Amino acid sequence: MLSGPSGVGKGTVVAALAKAVPRLWVSVSVTTRFPRPGEIDGVNYHFINDAEFDRMIAAGELLEWAVYGKNRYGTPRQPVEQALEGGVPALLEIELQGARQVKAAMPDAFCVFLAPPSWDELVRRLTARGTEAPDVAAARLKRAGVEMAAIDEFDAVVVNASVGHACAELITLLRLQT
């Protein structure tokens, strides 16, 4: 499982990791938010409405779920369990609330925190992407402070100074865990 604050580059690192390790299965989360420009349903996220999200919660179909900003995100349980039962390494890209839920449900899960090289760099990355209104970006930064404070809850920390370096460190960690 890979977690870290918004803007740290989780999606970019996961995409590079998936290319470098074709055997790795990457979970696709569900979300109630609208797609950002360039995002594809079923690839980046499964974009669903609130009623479908509620149904999935009630049916126990989510391994974890959390509210982030004004939207909800969750990990469908069945695909994760199928990958693991098939002996395929599975990677979940999730935020802190979800990471805590997965760790509680699956105590043997290996949890990696993706950290920025500095707070200033995280601020730059989050604001430079320009996908949120300033008040939303400010809320994400406030939340990032809380997430950074939880770094000791994770089994390993990888600093995302560069995508290539972070990807190489994650590959090393995956080899240690498989």
Per CATH, the homologous superfamily of domain 2-177 is P-loop containing nucleotide triphosphate hydrolases (3.40.50.300)
Query: Average pLDDT for residues 64-81, to the nearest whole number?
Result: 92
| Whole-number pLDDT of residue 177 | 66
Q: Which residues pair with 76 in a beta bridge?
A: 62
Considering only CA atoms, which of 153, 155, 162 is closest in space to residue 176?
Answer: 155
Highest mean predicted confidence (pLDDT) among 121-125, 137-141, 151-155: 151-155
Residues 149, 154: Cα–Cα separation, whole Å: 11
pLDDT at 92 over 60: yes
The beta strand positions in the chain, using DSSP E, are: 2-3, 25-26, 30-31, 46-47, 62-68, 71-76, 90-91, 112-115, 156-159
pLDDT band at 178 (very low <50, low <70, confident <90, very high): low
Q: pLDDT tens, 52-68?
A: 999 999 999 999 999 88
Domain boundaries along the sequence of the chain: 2-177
Is 33 within 8 Å of 47 (Cβ atoms)? yes
Q: pLDDT tens, 22-45?
A: 999 999 999 999 999 999 999 989
Q: pLDDT tens, 2-22?
A: 999 988 999 999 999 999 999
Q: 9: burial class by Cβ within 10 Å (0-12, 13-18, 19+)?
A: buried
| Whole-number pLDDT of residue 114 | 98
**DSSP state for residue 45 in the 8-state scheme:** B
Q: pLDDT tens, 106-134?
A: 999 999 999 999 999 998 888 776 767 88
| Average pLDDT value over all residues in the chain | 92
